[in-house]
Amino acid sequence: MRIFLTGATGFIGGGVASRLIERGDQVVALVRTPSSASGLSELGCEIVAGDLGDREAIHKAVKGADAVIHCAAIYEVGIASDQRSAMQSANVDGTVEVLSEALAAGVSKTVYVSTCGVFGNTHGKVVDESYEHPDDGFTSCYEETKVLAHRAALDLQAAGLPLVIVQPGGVYGPKDHSALGEVIRKFAKHQLPAMLFPDLGMTLVHRDDVVDGILLALDRGKVGEAYVLGGEIQTMRGLISTEARLLGRRAPKLTIPAGFIRALNPIGRIVGPLLGTGPNLAELADSGDRVTFWATSEKAERELGYRPRDLEEGLRQTLAAEGLLK
């Protein structure tokens, strides 16, 4: 099968590209800077130079494809105001561009990688795919843009696009350079004396399980359906406690109060890098202070055969792969 893939140089998309090539599919990857995609070329991917705003490049890449997998997005919380436009362009406009071209090209199936974040703050509830964002405000620009992109995808589905949506939870794994990956890495390296947002709730899922879920959605997913690709329902405190057990240590007893983080917002451009976050500390607190992004993957398990590993196993594998587990 010939598949057009976006986000192939990213954390999730890179895994998808490798798996597709391994099983014998042809992969056409949209890459902003081809010189940085030598690994994809070595795998056997066909590289098309362009970004999510390049209609001509997307049109060229989609032509002749049997399916489209749209993984590309900007994922960051706590961004400066001057970065909001770029996130809007990539996450919303880019999604419309890719899915519109897929519709025009008549591909047999498109898989769009959304997120559990489109549910917003679930306020302690574990929700499923039927849950809708309450429109009571957004915890971050990322959440807002992904909600808008998700809705645009549904509009294109209604217009005739054979679409399957997948919604990963909080993704972690080896070589994860997101804020979540940095927290896991810092604790392992004795660089996390205090915990930030211990009650932040996430549906924690290993990257390789998300990749499995995306391919299952491509092969078995029912057009018109969405599938949560989650793992273990946990909090940040639970994540670090699990990691501490694996490392034979104690989790930090100290926590950094959310109010203190908000108070530092005026100097966020200085403090953010020290914390390993973006400069907008107010947004960071809005999306992390006792907020839950909890959702169940029961539907994907039942209908697709999706089988995520538990957090302890996933963390053990992640730490071992990075040489952080004795």
pLDDT digits (tens, 9 = 90+) for 210-235: 999 999 999 999 999 999 999 999 99
Q: H-helix or E-strand containing 189?
A: none
Chain-centroid distance, C-alpha 292: 16
> pLDDT by residue (tens digit) across 239-248?
999 999 999 9
Task: Please indicate, yes or no, if residue 83 is contained in any of the structural domains.
Answer: yes
Q: At 258, is the pLDDT very low, low, confident or very high (cuts 50, 70, 90)?
A: very high
- What's the confidence (pLDDT) of residue 286? 96
- What's the confidence (pLDDT) of residue 267? 94
Task: Please indicate, yes or no, if residue 263 is contained in any of the structural domains.
Answer: no
Q: Are 184 and 82 in contact (CB under 8 A)?
A: no
Q: How many domains does the chain have?
A: 1
pLDDT exceeds cutoff 90 at 277: no
- What's the confidence (pLDDT) of residue 264? 94
Task: Please indicate, yes or no, if residue 252 is contained in any of the structural domains.
Answer: no
Q: Are 214 and 306 in contact (CB under 8 A)?
A: no
Q: Are 295 and 205 in contact (CB under 8 A)?
A: no
Task: Please indicate, yes or no, if residue 280 is contained in any of the structural domains.
Answer: no
> pLDDT by residue (tens digit) across 112-169?
999 999 999 999 999 999 999 998 899 999 999 999 999 999 999 999 999 999 999 9
pLDDT exceeds cutoff 90 at 11: yes
Task: Please indicate, yes or no, if residue 165 is contained in any of the structural domains.
Answer: yes
CATH of the domain at 224: 3.40.50.720
Is 171 buried (19+), middle (13-18) or exposed (0-12) by CB count in 10 A? buried
- What's the confidence (pLDDT) of residue 274? 80
| Angle, helix 55-62 to helix 94-105, in steps of 10 degrees | 40
Task: Please indicate, yes or no, if residue 287 is contained in any of the structural domains.
Answer: no
- What's the confidence (pLDDT) of residue 173? 98
Question: Which residues constitute the domain of residue 118?
Answer: 2-172+203-231+297-302
Q: H-helix or E-strand containing 2?
A: strand 2-6
Q: At 58, is the pLDDT very low, low, confident or very high (cuts 50, 70, 90)?
A: very high
- What's the confidence (pLDDT) of residue 240? 98
| Rg from Cα positions in the chain | 19
Q: At 275, is the pLDDT very low, low, confident or very high (cuts 50, 70, 90)?
A: confident
**Percent of the chain clearing pLDDT 70 (strictly above):** 100
Q: How far, in Å, CA of 168 to CA of 165, rounded?
A: 10
- What's the confidence (pLDDT) of residue 309? 98
Write down the mean pLDDT value for the chain.
96
State the average pLDDT over residues 16-42.
Answer: 94
Q: H-helix or E-strand containing 46?
A: strand 46-49
> pLDDT by residue (tens digit) across 70-124?
999 999 999 999 999 999 999 999 999 999 999 999 999 999 999 999 999 999 9
Task: Please indicate, yes or no, if residue 290 is contained in any of the structural domains.
Answer: no
Task: Please indicate, yes or no, if residue 179 is contained in any of the structural domains.
Answer: no
